[in-house]
Amino acid sequence: MGDLNTQMLDKYRNNFLHEVEEKVDDGHWVKMCMQCGVCAGSCTFGPDWEHTPQKIFMMIRAGKREEVLSSHSMWLCTSCYNCMVRCPRELPITHIMHGLASYAHRLGLAPKNQPTRDFSLIFWDNCTKTGRVNELRMTISVYFREGIVSGIKKMWTLRNVGRGLFFAKRLNPLELFVSHGCKDKDGLRRALKKADEIEARRRGYAVQPRGYSS
C-alpha cells in the first residue's frame, strides 16, 4: 500500500488535481466546482466535517494531497445525496467523496481506526462472503473491531436494543450458525475478483490491491 503511494507521488509530482482526475471515481468533475458552498450547507454531518466538500475541492486544486487524503471528512458522508441534487454545476459530490475515501484507503493514507472505513471494510467482507449480508455477524464484527473488552461494553450498552429486535423477530441468534447466501457464491466471488483485476489494469496499478478473504 505504501509503495503505491510512493509510486503515485512520483508519477504526479505536484499535480494532485491531475492525480484525482485519473485515479478517483468521478474525479474528473472536481475542476467544475465553482466554490458556491451549497454542498457545505447541505451536508447532514456538515458541522462535523473538518473540511466540507467545497473546501476539499479547493484543497485538491491547491495540491494539498496529504491533508485531503488523510482527512476524516469524506468518511462522514452519510450518502444522503443532498449536496449532489443541490449542486448548481451538478457535480456527483457523493460519489467523489466515496471515491476520495476509497483512494485514500487504497494508498494507506486513511486515518487509522477510521470508524466508517472499518465499517465499510467489514460490510464488504460480510456481503461478499456468502453473497448476502448477515446482519448479526456484521454487527458483532463492528462492535468488536477495537477488541473484546470494548466489544462486550458496546453490546452491554445496546442490550435493550438487541432485546427489542429479538422480540420483534428482527434479530435472531440463529444467524450466527446459518446464513442466507447465494447458491453460486463461488461464481459471484470469481466475478468480483475479476472485477478487481480489471480495475487494477484500467487504473494502472501494478498490484492487485484488494482481494477477498475466504
Partner 1 sequence: MAKREYAFYPGCSSQLRGSAANYLVSVESMCEKLDVKMTQIPDWNCCGASISYAGSSELARHVLSARNFALSDKHLPGQDIVATCAACWLGGRETIEKLDASSQLMADTNEALKEAGLEYKSGTAIRHMVEVLVEDLGYEELGKPVVKPLDGVKVAGYVGCQTNRPFGIAGESFENPMYLDKLIDTVGGESIAKYEEKVSCCGGSLAFCEQEKAEKQIKNIVESAYDHGADVICTPCPLCQANVEVYQSEINRKQGTKLNMPVVYYSQLLSVAYGGTLKEAGLDGHIIQPKKLQEIAVKVVGRR
Residues of span 66-85 touching partner 1 by CB under 8 A = 76, 78-82, 84-85
SS3 for 203? Answer: helix
Residue 95 has, within 13 A of its CA and on its CB side, a CA count of 13
The answer to whether residues 30 and 15 touch, using CB atoms and an 8 Å cutoff, is no
Residues of span 137-166 touching partner 1 by CB under 8 A = 139, 142, 158, 160-161, 164-165
Least distance CB 128 / partner 1 (angstroms): 8
CB nearer to partner 1: pick between 14 and 208: 208
CB nearer to partner 1: pick between 4 and 133: 133
In angstroms, the CA 67 to CA 62 distance is 11
Question: What is the number of other CB atoms lying within 10 angstroms of the CB of residue 96?
Answer: 27
32 CB contacts (<8 Å, ≥6 apart)?
A: 89, 91
Residues that bind partner 1 (CB under 8 A): 25, 44-45, 48, 76, 78-82, 84-86, 92, 94, 98-99, 101-102, 105, 110, 115-121, 123-125, 127-128, 131-133, 135, 139, 142, 158, 160-161, 164-165, 167-172, 174-175, 180, 182-184, 187-188, 190-196, 198-199, 202, 210
